[in-house]
Amino acid sequence: MRGIITLFFFIPLLSIAQIAPGKYFVRFTDKNNNPYSVSSPLAFLSQRAINRRNAQGISITPQDLPVTPAYIDSVIAHGATVLNKSKWLNGVIIQTTDTNVLNSVETLPFVSGVKSLPKRNTVSKEKFVFTDKMEELAAEKMLATESAGEYGPALHQLQMLNGDFLHSLGYRGKGMLIAVMDAGFNNANTIPVFQDLIADNRILATHDFVQGDSNVYGHHFHGTAVLSCMAAHLPGYMIGTAPDAEYILLRTEDAATEYIIEEYNWACGAEYADSAGADVFNTSLGYTTFDDPLYNHTYADMNGDSAVITIAADIAASKGILVVNSAGNSGGGPWNYIGAPADGDSVLTVGGVDSLKVIYAQSSHGPSFDGRVKPNVCAQGLNAYLAFDNGVFGYGSGTSFASPIMAGTAACLWQARPSFSNMQILHAIEQSADRYLNPDTLYGYGIPDMRLAWILLNGNETPPEDVILSVYPNPFTTSCTVTFYATQAGNARIEIFDAAGKKVFDKQNSSDRYYQSLSISNSVLQSKGVYILRFTTTQKVLYRKIVRQ
């Protein structure tokens, strides 16, 4: 069982390091002489953020305190321009081209030291997120032409996770706050698919950590497409996985170049969203290599403890936030593995599959360098249905879309089970997945089942019906496990028939647990071929095909 690790005291950061041309991170030694106090958290955290901590028994600590304002003022007085502040990393991002300013800042007693890195190359090339090319998008953009009721073609990617079960119970994200970190949300404030989101004032905040303003409705289409997977609501065309949720939109990525400053931007954005009270993060970004190879990560860095963005992601999880991140699109390429912060031990990392639940060839591989299961789970990433920034609909491929499909569905699950912690939600999602008993480096624990996760988090409610939850693996060679739920404990009978109709297995379960599992080995199903499983309770009779190879 993985826990949340807060790594504040082990952050391997240089106190002043050039993190993009002319930009540096200045780390402070402490938070002394700070006018803020953990005993008065409303001065620096919203009530919503405080409520989230209280609900999960999370203390407010000095790590939550803003950077000491006097330290910032002094850095400015010495000639530097402060771009962003990070309370978790306890420092500021500054801009200057004057070495005298850097030398002057170095002398400040509350700066833990200065080390200036060589100036980066200013490379002009199109580079974005996980690979050297843009997310792969279908060349043909189209209006919705397939019929799937009010959801449009997006219904399938919701049904794959059994998220439609949650929606049918009325859990569509209402009351949940999702923060989206991306490269820009071009036209998200004007296209029809978000008209209800805008009209209902459910975008609670926006901020651009690249340019330092609040306008995120430009710069790039990627965030718009990502947002549509969750927030879309245009009945008959597309409905996303969390259409009733509230959102915070943050630009932390500069798509034109790839510098490590973007990891620091993300940390600042995560703190912003935490302070505002976000429940869930979705990040369809990841970092491996940069425009200057001097600062490239290695696979050894994907250990959950090294990359700045991973450290910040795990800190966010320690504040009670469910952090969801794309695995990456490097599968089969030179890098091959997950990027940062997908390596975080408290991050729900999402790989991509196609509509038939087969892994997307470019979905990044696990494990983390230290051997943990990654990705954690998978959702549809190949030919995911989404909205483009010009208002039309089409298909896109990449784990960038698997992540928000999962994040929105997870928000609905948490809405349904609000008394549980972020990590309990994460682990229930893992445990509901179809490969939970046999995880691997491609699928992780597999494709989650939100109905099973809902059952695993069972509170005072009970499922409305008896159900076969999964038969895995299927087809199988040596054994498979049948998991099922009976609304009356012990009231379940499993029978298996061969192709000729002969009964080869019969067991009446007498367990006192509602959620049960049963292993079927090849010693029971002795011949290769197709079998029929019959699940009988007082409520119903269900059938499932089993194939022994």
What pLDDT, in 10s, does the model give residues 387-415? 999 999 999 999 999 999 999 999 999 99
pLDDT higher than threshold 50 for residue 133: no
Q: What average pLDDT does range 338-359 have in this prediction?
A: 97
Q: Is the pTM of this model over 0.85?
A: no
* pLDDT tier at 90, thresholds 50, 70, 90: very high
Name 33's Cβ contacts closer than 8 Å, sequence gap at least 6: 68, 70
Antiparallel, parallel or unpaired: β 322-326 and 347-353: parallel
- 66-80, 143-157, 219-233, 453-467: which has the minimum mean pLDDT? 453-467
Q: Where are the domains of the chain?
A: 8-106, 152-456, 467-548
Query: Tens digit of pLDDT for each residue in 120-129?
Result: 333 222 333 4
Give 152-456's CATH code, choosing from 3.40.50.1820, 3.10.20.520, 3.30.70.20, 3.40.50.200: 3.40.50.200
Question: One-letter amino acid identity for 26?
Answer: V
Tell me, rounded to whole angstroms, the distance of Cα 547 from its chain centroid.
34
227 to each of 179, 293, 419, how far by Cα in Å? Answer: 10, 32, 26
What number of helices (H) and strands (E) belong to the chain?
Answer: 12, 22
CA 445, CA 450: separation in Å to the nearest integer?
14
pLDDT higher than threshold 70 for residue 234: yes
pLDDT higher than threshold 70 for residue 117: no
pLDDT higher than threshold 60 for residue 289: yes
Among all chains, which residue has been given the structure tokens 């996980």?
Answer: 130
Residue 544: its pLDDT value, please? Answer: 85
Question: One-letter amino acid identity for 381?
Answer: G
- CATH number of the structural domain 467-548: 2.60.40.1220
pLDDT higher than threshold 80 for residue 548: yes
Q: What average pLDDT does range 373-385 have in this prediction?
A: 97
Helix (H, G, I), strand (E, B) or coil at 356: coil
Cβ contact 502:522 at 8 Å: no
- For 482, the enclosing helix (H) or strand (E) is strand 479-485
Half-sphere exposure of residue 434: CA atoms within 13 angstroms, side-chain side: 19
Residue 21: its pLDDT value, please? Answer: 84
Q: What average pLDDT does range 320-348 have in this prediction?
A: 97
Higher local confidence (pLDDT), 213 or 130:
213
Name 460's Cβ contacts closer than 8 Å, sequence gap at least 6: none
* pLDDT tier at 480, thresholds 50, 70, 90: confident
Helix (H, G, I), strand (E, B) or coil at 56: coil
